[in-house]
Structure 1
Amino acid sequence: MASPSPKSPGQISDKSKKYDRQLRLWGDHGQTALESANVCLINATATGTEILKSLVLPGIGSFTIVDGALVTGEDAGNNFFLDHSKIGKPRAHVATQLLMELNSDVKGDYIEETCDQLLSNNPDFFCSFSVVIATGLTEKSLHSLSSNLWQNNVPLVVSVSYGFTGSIRLQVSELCIIESHPDNLLEDLRLDKPFPGLKEFMDTIKLPEMNHKQFSHTPYLVLLYKALEIWNDRHGPNPPSNYKEKEILRNIIKSELGYGIVKEEDSNSGDEENVAEAIKAVNTALTKTQVPSNVQKILNDDQCIRLKEKNSFWIIARAVKEFVEKEGNGVLPLRGSLPDMTSDSQRYIALQNVYREQASKDAEHVWRHVQTILKERGWAGESVIENDVKLFCRHSSELRMIRGSCLAEELDGKQLPPDVDINQQLEEPDSPWLHYLLLRAVNKFHTENGSFPGYYDDNVETDIAKLKGCFSRLLNDLGCQGGSLSKDDNLHEMCRYGAAELHAVAAFIGGCAAQEVIKLITKQYVPLDNTFIFNSVTSTTATLRL
């Protein structure tokens, strides 16, 4: 497989200077995906502009604001990008101009129409965007938008800042993630299933023939391998699996590997740094090499087996599945990376090359499977590129897949998850489910009354009674037996908010939503699944699966 063409020093330097920190998070390819994306924001509210700010700064390719409203005094009071001098002017135009000043690399556009007008006059308008972000929409408008985007497979991010409460709802039919960046990813060392190249390398290293300096600069991976050979001679081929067995292996490393290696007057091998590293790595480096359950689920998925459509992710996944069943002997392609360890440069690089060469061979096998799959189905060879196969193989143990649900179905009265006891949740004053239901009740109130509860000061008491009725009917619609439960204090608070969008809450929700948008675009890191609730009173967050 050909190596990727190196970028010129000028290109690397320019990007590194401007986007250095984020490049460390998602790399050149992630940045390229971001710079190629085109997002749409519906309504330049305080939350909406905060989201775009956090997308423009890292270099989103382009954005379009859809907003038919004019700037009001409320906007000037809570929106960082709007001031009193802009009152009466088109909100989309003003926000676009100011957001574009944040990054000259980003292109911005605006349309002075409402979401409903666009859906009515040009329903295909939203289908061209990488992601659509919605703020400040009524339940009716959200329903229409959700159905449209779900049918056209366009991700939707709905963000709400309502008083001291905020929420984010992600709608995505399917998201396949290659680089999930898990926090607890273990090294792929294959000590329990050494490949031929690793065996050959280890056989060339003779510990008893080394002097003190040579031994002390031997990679701890070698010590572990040699200790496992002793273990296998005494206990059989199965590596240590419990604390007692691992303790035996640690003692082998500490007391037996120094035999004939270090003279007594030189040092004790147990005091060496590489020995300490080997002992410490026993718990992590000797994990059983197998296909993780989440990856096995992807390889067994109907999309992977049947390949119903020409999708790069599923084509490579199918090729990896065939590799596991054939050349891989039940394991995934080797990752090919090594952790840092105490060693002289020569042996560390040699060991590193052993892993890299095997990873390259595994990726080559997968690439050949990809070509065969494409040929058998008559699909164009350029459907999958070599570098994508390499990336996929390198991160094959991290694969994640999310299949979401349609927001429109949720708004139609879809039942809540069966494992959630809503009656019990409602007994907790700060339950995220309570805040979710309160936001739903507020939207129901708007649908029935044409305004949000508490928006007009002279109707607060009446609105409280109406909102309480909306809340009870919502619970009954969702099949909850506690439809008559009273949450007067919470309902009073929702009315007291009067649909106010506080900038502090909007800024927090905006930053979180932008982060989720970047995950959707770069297909890196795992996005929330699928509803996020923020309670700014208690400074707590929660994720609900709906």
Structure 2
Amino acid sequence: MVEKNLTNITEDEAALYDRQIRLWGLDAQKRLRSSRVLVAGVCGMGAEVTKNLVLSGIKSLMLLDHRNLTDIDVCANFLAPHDAVGQNIAEVSKERAQILNPMVEVSSDSDDIENKTDEFFKQFDVVCAMRCSKEQLLRISNICHQNKILFFGGDVFGMIGYMFADLQEHQYVEEVKEKVEVEQDGKKQTVEETKMVKRTENFVPLSQALDVDWTTTKYASQLRRTSSTYFIMHRYTGVTAQTIPRIECTRCDSPDYTPAQNIPGPGLYPSRIYRCDSPDYTRPEYTGVTARTIPPEYTGVTAYPAQNIPDVILDKAV
């Protein structure tokens, strides 16, 4: 869907994108300059993706999110101002995203992605979806696959993250080393040469990637070679930000603030942290919950190192 008449690179753009033009060439930069991208879900990972895409020099980027900014969002989303808590997260993140690169058209949409029609997604060349339910991801993935739109999905839960890519029919060049026989001084010798081989990879929509019966002979033999990340992704695509219990945090300037050293390790309860001398404190033997048994998703706040890993992979693919 990238515009056929690629926009010419101006002198200012050539100076700004000089390093990446040297890396992947002028034609690739022109294709970037004509790309329209949707980032749905302005979470920590969404902010990282937005930053890298805006800096790369795409044509336009739209931030889509119906949620209002919270204290927890501020911990992971560097595009959102601390004093904007309570306002729409897409709208308040737009300004800092635009400052990153004035040559890119940055817009925001505060509507719920659930309300978007199929036609809405067709205006983009690339769709990146984060903080979506499994049903939403499957729907958007199918829309993109049917309309030749590149689709990326991903999310981060505490220290666990994943990303999925559907690049349709993707062509790329790979360096391959081959041994060939050459004749030198009348003698045949085997030397190693590097050749550039063009390859094509066909991607599938998310529904097909998740719908695998591992008990069949066809896939059982591939089980050992399949990354454990696939199964983690299978679990967490059914988890949304709304369904994850979060540990309630207290601001350090609050009279209810409890220093970390006063909180015993086993005194963690899924929905709140209590002082051990509080009448509401629940002993772990009655709840069955300890610091070691709390699932990773209960960490609540996205960890920067965790969100950077799938983000780097996603941005490289984009």
User: Same fold per TM (> 0.5)?
Assistant: yes
In structure 1, the residue matched to 2:312 is 511
Please give the alpha-carbon distance, in whole angstroms, between the structure 2 residues aligned to 1:241 and 1:181. Answer: 21
CA contact (8 A) 2:57 2:104 kept: yes
CA contact (8 A) 2:91 2:108 kept: yes
Distance 1:503 1:153, change over 3 A: same
Q: State how 1:32-431 maps to structure 2 within 5 Å.
A: 32-118=30-116, 122-175=117-170, 177=171, 180-184=172-176, 246=182, 249-252=183-186, 283-284=191-192, 398-411=197-210, 413-416=211-214, 418=219, 420=221, 422=223
Structure 2: gaps (5+ residues): 1-7, 249-267, 272-291
SS at match of 2:100: coil
Supply the distance in 2 between the matched residues of 1:106 and 1:450 (Cα, whole angstroms): 32
| Structure 2 SS opposite 1:128 | coil
Q: 2-side partners of 1:77 and 1:123: how far apart?
A: 33
AA at the equivalent of 1:182: E
Question: SS at 2:106's partner residue?
Answer: strand
Mapped partners of 2:132, 2:168: distance in 1? 21
Is the Cα contact below 8 Å between 1:79 and 1:503 reproduced in 2?
A: no
2:275 — aligned with what?
A: none
Please report the TM-score for the alignment, with normalisation by the length of structure 1: 0.44
| Kept after mapping to 2: 8 A contact 1:75/1:83 | no
TM-score scaled by length of structure 2: 0.73
Q: Cα 1:496–1:58, aligned 2, differ >3 Å: closer, same or farther?
A: closer
Runs of 4+ in structure 1 off by over 3 angstroms are 11-16, 183-186, 419-422, 453-460, 491-500
- For residues 127 and 93 of structure 1, do their structure 2 counterparts lie closer, same or farther at Cα, with a shift above 3 Å needed? same
2: CA distance, partners of 1:104 / 1:493: 44
Query: Which structure: greater helix fraction?
Result: 1
Which residue does the alignment assign to 1:451? Answer: 243
CA spacing shift, 1:54–1:407, aligned 2, 3 Å:
same
Q: Deviations over 1:328-355 (max 9, x none)?
A: xxxxxxxxxxxxxxxxxxxxxxxxxxxx
Distance in structure 2 (CA, Å) of the matches to 1:109 and 1:15: 20
Conserved? CA contact 1:52–1:514, under 8 Å: no
- Deviation at residue 48 of structure 1 after TM alignment: 0.6
CA distance in 2 between counterparts of 1:77 and 1:51 reads 16
Alpha-carbon distance in structure 2 between the residues aligned to 1:89 and 1:496: 25
Deviation per residue, 1:165-206 (Å, 9 max, x gap): 22110123322x2xx3433478xxxxxxxxxxxxxxxxxxxx
Q: Are residues 56 and 284 of structure 1, via their aligned partners in 2, closer, same or farther at CA, if it must alter by over 3 Å? A: same
CA distance in 1 between counterparts of 2:169 and 2:180 reads 37
Structure 2: how far apart are the matches of 1:439 and 1:493? 19
What's the counterpart of residue 231 of structure 2?
437
Larger radius of gyration: 1
Deviation of the 1:458 alpha carbon: 4.0
For the structure 1 residues 152 and 504, does the alpha-carbon distance in structure 2 shift closer, same or farther, using more than 3 Å as the test?
A: same
SS of match in other structure, 1:183: strand
**Counterpart amino acid of residue 250 in structure 1:** Q
Cα shift at 1:35: 0.4
Match of 2:153, SS state, is strand
What CA distance in whole angstroms lies between the structure 2 residues aligned with 1:114 and 1:501?
22
Distance 2:139 2:11 in 1: 45
| CA drift at 1:130 | 0.7
Q: Which amino acid aligns with 1:414?
A: V
In the alignment, the residues of structure 2 paired with residue 454 and residue 443 of structure 1 have an alpha-carbon distance, to the nearest angstrom, of 18
CA deviations 1:359-416 (Å, max 9, x no partner) are xxxxxxxxxxxxxxxxxxxxxxxxxxxxxxxxxxxxxx632212111212344x3325
Structure 1: state its 5+ residue gaps: 1-7, 187-239, 254-278, 293-396, 426-430, 461-490, 518-546
The residue identity in structure 1 corresponding to 2:303 is L
Q: Which has the higher contact order (CA 8 A, sep 6+)?
A: 1
Measured in 1, the distance between the counterparts of 2:87 and 2:63 equals 15
Q: Distance in 2 between matches of 1:33 and 1:25?
A: 14
- Report the CA distance between 1:143 and its aligned residue: 1.8
Number of positions where the alignment pairs a residue of Structure 1 with one of Structure 2: 270
- Bigger fraction of residues in strand: 2
Give CA-to-partner distance per residue, 1:456-476, whole Å, 9 cap, x none: 77448xxxxxxxxxxxxxxxx
Quick one: which amino acid aligns to residue 25 of structure 2? Answer: G
Q: Which amino acid is 2:201 matched to?
A: I
Measure, in 2, the Cα distance between the counterparts of 1:494 and 1:421. 28
